[in-house]
């Protein structure tokens, strides 16, 4: 017996090929995606603009299951962490952050991550697999449905940040495919300025992204000292700050503030005036904004804690005095392990457990399900 393909994992090209092979026109491929992402319908019986026999064949040829919401953890700041169980028993999560003027969704692009940044829980999990384009986009569908359930009327996700689990550019094709759907006026219709792809610094992929996609770029930087960055972020051993600077000087900027640089402020590690001076030197010639993010605590973070307010103010002022915007961004969802650097597929009773312990627990669940099958 052949295993059915999962419908949400099919790209528009896949759908076009399927319809052509079944004697239909290629535009049917876009129609299926419109049912998914505009009408949020994943049952082919309801695809009323398709012939009945084609709907029946779609039902028979594909598995129409969606990721299951395993856990929703509401934060005291009204954000929510949504833990999703994927079709193969693995987990990914997204963070829904409604506010007065926007609704931001932080999406995951991988199950785990192989970048191994020292300050990040996800990096301590290791990489299990990439998410497909459909698995990324269904996070948005699920978030929009969640807004309705919460009675947040007439609101939908307006801003997407690829800052959840995983290194987005390590899953390049699926992330670009998702971004194209997000800014497609016939699908999600989001502004290209409101879709942000964050990366730790995969330089060939950054160059390619600039050619392929007009979305906002964020660089996970955290220090402008080469030796220190290599210790904090192993990717820097392969692609140095000097190499990154050359790539970014040629990057086609998409937003009025240019490229965003994320800088996690860790007390006594990267928050001195000397660090600020090196950062200013690195940014010279770049149109840039720096988001200063106080280190979010998590098990396994050793002695890393957030920079105190006064030192952060000094650091911020040094940048501002040199015409570099440097807002302090306090991460939402800290109390439910949903903040920047905290995502590790944790349920409520696991928030205080080390990320490796949780990763092993998820692995045991995954293997147990495989045995049942």
Of the candidates 12, 93, 135, 167, the residue annotated as catalytic is 93
Give Cα separations from 331 to 64, 261, 262, 339 (angstroms): 35, 15, 12, 5
Residue 263: left (phi > 0), alpha (psi -120 to 50), or beta? beta
Query: What is the CB neighbour count within 10 angstroms for residue 114?
Result: 16
Instruction: Give the separation between CA 246 and CA 341, rounded to whole angstroms.
Output: 27
Closest CA to 226 of 214, 246, 243, 212: 243
Is residue 258 helix, strand or coil?
coil
H helix and E strand count, the chain: 12, 13
Give Cα separations from 85 to 22, 139, 350 (angstroms): 32, 11, 16
242 in catalytic set: no
Of the candidates 94, 113, 179, 340, the residue annotated as catalytic is 340
End-to-end CA, the chain: 14
CB 15 within 8 A of CB 32: yes
Q: Structure tokens of 261?
A: 């640089």
340 in catalytic set: yes
Q: Structure tokens of 110?
A: 């991988």
Active site residues: 93, 340
């Amino acid at each position: 017996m052949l295993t059915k393909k999962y419908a949400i994992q099919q790209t528009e090209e896949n759908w076009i090929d399927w319809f052509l092979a079944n004697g239909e026109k290629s535009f049917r491929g876009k129609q299926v995606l419109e049912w998914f992402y505009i009408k949020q319908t994943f049952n082919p019986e309801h695809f009323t603009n398709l012939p009945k026999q084609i709907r029946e064949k779609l039902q028979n040829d594909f598995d129409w299951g969606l990721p299951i919401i395993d856990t929703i953890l509401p934060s005291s700041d009204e954000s929510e962490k949504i833990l999703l169980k994927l079709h193969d028993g693995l987990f990914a999560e997204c963070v829904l952050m409604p506010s007065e003027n926007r609704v931001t969704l932080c999406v995951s692009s991988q199950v785990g991550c192989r970048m191994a940044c020292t300050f990040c829980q996800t990096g301590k999990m290791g990489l299990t697999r990439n998410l497909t384009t459909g698995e990324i986009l269904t996070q948005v569908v699920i978030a929009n449905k969640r807004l309705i359930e919460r009675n947040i009327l007439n609101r939908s996700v307006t801003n997407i940040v690829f800052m959840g689990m995983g290194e987005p550019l390590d899953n390049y094709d699926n992330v670009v495919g998702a971004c194209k759907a997000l800014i497609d006026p016939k699908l999600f219709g989001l502004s290209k300025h409101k879709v942000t792809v964050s990366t730790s610094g995969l330089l060939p992929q950054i160059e390619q992204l600039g050619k392929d996609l007009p979305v906002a770029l964020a660089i996970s930087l955290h220090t402008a000292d080469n030796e220190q960055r290599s210790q904090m972020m192993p990717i820097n051993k392969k692609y140095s700050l000097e190499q990154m600077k050359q790539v970014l000087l040629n990057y086609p900027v998409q937003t009025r503030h240019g490229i965003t640089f994320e800088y996690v402020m860790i007390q006594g590690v990267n928050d001195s005036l000397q660090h600020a001076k090196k950062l200013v030197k690195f940014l010279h010639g770049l149109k840039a904004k720096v988001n200063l993010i106080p280190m979010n605590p998590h098990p396994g973070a050793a002695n890393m804690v957030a920079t105190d307010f006064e030192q952060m103010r000094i650091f911020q002022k040094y940048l501002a005095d040199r015409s570099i915007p440097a807002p302090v961004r306090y991460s939402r969802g800290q109390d439910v392990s949903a903040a920047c650097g905290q995502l590790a597929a944790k349920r409520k009773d696991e928030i205080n457990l080390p990320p490796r312990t949780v990763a092993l627990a998820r692995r045991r669940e995954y293997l147990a399900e495989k045995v049942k099958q």
